[in-house]
Structure 1
Amino acid sequence: MTIHQQDFQAPRDAEPTRIEIPAQRAQRAVPPLPRPVPRPVPVPVPLRPGHRFLVYKQDPSVTALGARLAFLPTVVLNGPMDARVQTELAQVTPVARNINGDFVFAAGTPQFDCAHTFAVVRQTMAMYERHNGGNPIPFAWNVSGNTDRITVFPHAGEGANAFYSRTAKALKFLFFTPQGQRAVLHTCRSLDIVAHETGHAILDGLKPGWLSAGNPPQTGGLHEAFGDITAIFLALAEPDQAEALVALTKANLHDKSFLSELAEEFGKALGMPSGLRNADNDLKLSQVGNEVHAISQVFTGAIYDVLADVYTFELSRQRRTKDPAIVLIETASALCKLVFDAIVASPATGARYVDVANKMLQVSAGRGDPAIYRTFIRNRFAVREITTAATPLRDMLSGRMTMTEPGYTGDGQDVTEVEPRDEHSASLRADQDRSRCCGTMQMPEYQVVAPEKLARRGSLEDDDILRDELDELHRAFSK
């Protein structure tokens, strides 16, 4: 078959092909449908507003941490004030939020002191509320529908102390000029001191009978120790502090650090080498007698050692899957919850260290912790002469204890109840010596009101403190 050129060409006399340009086609095209108005994707917003506060992460002397922003995810009114806490400072409060709705003020100013103190009190309360299932913890006077706030006084007066008062429904922080110095030291600027005193208020809500001097010295020691470990656990609940601590100590909690040294600036001002107290101590009950301040350090030291032991174990177990700071935060939170639950389950009055230790063992077993957790608890309380040595201490004392085996018990016995080492110890039998305690423990309302009276909760009035004398006068005047 022959193909000719004309087969590919149109005949010359054929109708010329008409080519439409796009504009011509558009004129005859169907009009386009109207485009919908663009709608932006909704941005999720917090269920509740929050506010930023500038706070000292430790105190002004701990310059490595300094002052940083903290966020409180709750509604805070000018004051600062919310549903649980209010602040009072003559000629300063109410302190108003700035244009961004935050309480951020220059460090060292009265406005800063109000905001910083409020924020630390609120952070401390929030930490324990998380361990309480998210439920608010009542103050000792919050009974029968009472919702009275606690009032925070950042500049309550002159003196080297701070205290919580149920009668005044207040936390009061004093200020003083250290000997040989010109600068005034404000106790409210120490996270440790504010957390410690807030711890007293929280524990008084949980165990209102424990503050009475009519209890054994160990009960008083529990109150002081609770304040100190509250400061420790609050620091470790903050990621920036946990991260700084891990870097500073290379993840060794027994290395010298801001965590174990409590109230550094205050302690140095009183002539101490470092902080007011050292949580990483080696004190035993036989070394402290009935002085409550010293007795408290025995319990604090035991808890700190348990924290270090559990962290060492968990770090070895999770080192390939988690950052060391995350492991520390989670370890501290779990131990804080354990101590909290143990205290809630302890006797309403006359609580001893062994009572809390046994509850820790039982709660730990009930929630399925590795057996080595309870070995740590038994060992640390036994070596401080608080409890009998249900677990042989030879491995720990020789430094050969297996720190990485979850089921380690020393002798195969996972004991959850131990006995007091010495039932005739002065820390159990003598009267409480509160001469070196913080201002809270020296308040007259806790010196003279019986444990049973305090345990009934409710507000305390001046007449409650003077009840014995008033009754005596009544009898005298009735003759």
Structure 2
Amino acid sequence: MTIHQQDFQEGRSTRAMPIEVPAQRPGPMSRVAVPGAAPAAPRAVPRPVPVPAPARTGHRFMIYKQDPSVTELGARLTFVPTVVLNGPTDARVRTEMQGVTPVARNVNGDFVFPMGSPQFDCAHTFAVVRQAMAMYERHNGGNPIPFAWNVGGNTDRISVFPHAGVGANAFYSRTAKALKFLFFTPEGQPPTTVVHTCRSFDIVAHEMGHALLDGLKPGWLSAAGPPQTGGLHESFGDLTAIFLALAQPDQAEALIALTKANLHDKSFLADVAEEFGRALGMPSGLRNADNDLKLSQVGNEVHAISQVFTGAIYDVLADMCMFEMARQRRTKDPALVLIETASALCRLVFDAIVASPATGARYVDVANKMLQMSSGRGDPAIYRTFIRNRFAVREITTAATPLTDLMSGQMKMTEADYTGDGQDITEVEALDGLSASLRAEQDRSRCCGTMQMPEYQVVDPEKLAKRGSLEDDDILREDLDELRRAFSK
């Protein structure tokens, strides 16, 4: 309250200015006039320091790091920095599972579910698809990569079916605008032993690689092209799985520890789709990236041909890592060196593929683009020596750089300017222009489900090479035309 008093100094007639006195009970501040007191400074109101908020939100997902069978890695949380709606679905990807979707976010806005549940399968598959897309979009300057049907303003999503049906396969379909992952019980196993292809980090990344490459190079999926073009598609899927694994810091660190920084030591990285491969009776994964296959050993079988290109890139990766580990061993953690080196090679391969011919691309086309782009970026000359050597050893290209040092184990792996003979050549020739991998028809009998889809076998290659949607009638065009001719008589 306010109390008015006379000035207690004799002879003074002015009134005192009131000052604030704390009240004796909770509530507003009381004002008490104290004669002769100076005005009190206003009390500072404490203000909390503002906490910057992220420009865009995101969501956490629980995913398998590799296959469920790779128990030393298990599962982990991952963060997807885009707005994801219940489904999960966002502007590019939609998840479909009958009786399960849309899967709802939890109270924290995250998609975290018990491993092995249908909800987990939806969240895991969506997250890996999104991560693969994000990896290549980073290498694409942050620009979105269109699906093959995203033309003329079309923004249709790709639909992801984690439990699409029974079968030992998975596939991408341009006609369905979908990725479909099947499930099966391995022969001789009890019915409760079910292998879900959607739970394999490698398989999901591989099939998404097909979808992304079809958007970048729509003419490469046609079976009418040379076997090497089909091999590039299969290899791109496997390389997507490898590079995406190495974009995960915990996987890179685990790999360094398991192999002592030697990428040629046996590890989960080189074995692609371990659980699936073992279920089919293979000793390890469905494919082995760390192989020694040469073009003369594979004929026109696209699955095998793809491993030649994958093996060459894997060898280049191992060479580059050895060089960078030696160069940066005192300044960077080995896992960080591996992540950065893999990212640099992934971008080089991505850019080389984008710059390669729209149809009929050969391995030598991609190799030459890699050499030229590496030189243009100012990479150490030894990078291009690695590329020339590894493609030549695989009998893909001529040996522009003498292979004497490499084959004798005397190559100077730590000298940045090493070229073998002093020439930093950026264009090489195909070793054998008459190779079955260039001239024969494609044998896709052992490829993944994508390469065996009828739409890529029978649709006119020129139509496939143009971006745009496919319809069922495009697949049946030859039969329909024959019927029209018959019914016109």
Q: TM-score, structure 2 length as denominator?
A: 0.92
Superposed CA deviations along residues 155-192 of structure 1, whole A, max 9, x for unmatched, are 00000000000000000000000112221110000000
* Structure 2: distance between partners of 1:421 and 1:27: 105
What residue is the counterpart of 2:111 in the other structure? Answer: 103
Instruction: Map residues 76-475 of structure 1 onto 2, 5 A cutoff.
Output: 76-182=84-190, 183-475=193-485
What residue is the counterpart of 2:18 in the other structure? Answer: none
* Structure 1: distance between partners of 2:35 and 2:241: 79
Superposed CA deviations along residues 339-360 of structure 1, whole A, max 9, x for unmatched, are 0000000000000000000000
* Structure 1: distance between partners of 2:221 and 2:135: 22
Q: How many residues align?
A: 454
Q: How far did 1:468 drift?
A: 1.8
* Structure 2: distance between partners of 1:310 and 1:410: 16
Secondary structure of 1:255's partner? coil
Question: In angstroms, what is the RMSD of aligned CA positions?
Answer: 1.0
Q: How far did 1:144 drift?
A: 0.3
Superposed CA deviations along residues 424-471 of structure 1, whole A, max 9, x for unmatched, are 000000000000000000000001123221111100011111112222
Superposed CA deviations along residues 86-145 of structure 1, whole A, max 9, x for unmatched, are 000000000000011000000000000000000000000000000000010000000000
What code does the residue aligned with 1:154 have? P
Secondary structure of 1:203's partner? helix
**Alignment check: 8 A CA contact 1:160 1:175 kept:** yes
* Structure 2: distance between partners of 1:195 and 1:419: 32
Superposed CA deviations along residues 284-330 of structure 1, whole A, max 9, x for unmatched, are 00000000000000000000000000000011000100000000000
**Residue segments in structure 2 that go unaligned for 5+ positions in a row:** 1-33
What code does the residue aligned with 1:89 have? M
Q: How far did 1:413 drift?
A: 0.7
What residue is the counterpart of 1:45 in the other structure? Answer: 53
**Alignment check: 8 A CA contact 1:175 1:184 kept:** yes
| Bigger mean CA offset, 362-371 vs 30-39 | 30-39
What code does the residue aligned with 1:161 have? N
What code does the residue aligned with 1:310 have? M
Q: TM-score, structure 1 length as denominator?
A: 0.94
**Residue segments in structure 1 that go unaligned for 5+ positions in a row:** 1-25
Superposed CA deviations along residues 226-251 of structure 1, whole A, max 9, x for unmatched, are 00000000000010000000000000
Superposed CA deviations along residues 39-58 of structure 1, whole A, max 9, x for unmatched, are 11111111111100000000
* Structure 1: distance between partners of 2:202 and 2:278: 14
Secondary structure of 1:155's partner? strand
* Structure 1: distance between partners of 2:473 and 2:400: 48
* Structure 2: distance between partners of 1:422 and 1:304: 22
**Alignment check: 8 A CA contact 1:163 1:172 kept:** yes
What code does the residue aligned with 1:306 have? V
What code does the residue aligned with 2:466 have? R
**Alignment check: 8 A CA contact 1:361 1:374 kept:** yes
* Structure 2: distance between partners of 1:147 and 1:208: 17
Superposed CA deviations along residues 379-398 of structure 1, whole A, max 9, x for unmatched, are 00000000000000000000
Secondary structure of 2:165's partner? coil
What residue is the counterpart of 2:20 in the other structure? Answer: none
What residue is the counterpart of 2:26 in the other structure? Answer: none
Secondary structure of 1:300's partner? helix
What code does the residue aligned with 1:446 have? Y
Q: How far did 1:478 drift?
A: 2.6
Q: Alpha carbons of 1:27 and 1:184: their partners in 2 closer, same or farther (altered >3 Å)?
A: farther
Q: How far did 1:32 drift?
A: 2.6
What code does the residue aligned with 2:409 have? G
Query: Identity percentage over the alignment?
Result: 84
**Alignment check: 8 A CA contact 1:349 1:452 kept:** no
| Bigger mean CA offset, 329-338 vs 180-189 | 180-189
* Structure 1: distance between partners of 2:186 and 2:477: 38
What residue is the counterpart of 1:6 in the other structure? Answer: none
Superposed CA deviations along residues 232-279 of structure 1, whole A, max 9, x for unmatched, are 000000100000000000000000000000100000111111111000
**Alignment check: 8 A CA contact 1:210 1:451 kept:** no
What code does the residue aligned with 1:94 have? P
| Bigger mean CA offset, 457-466 vs 208-217 | 457-466
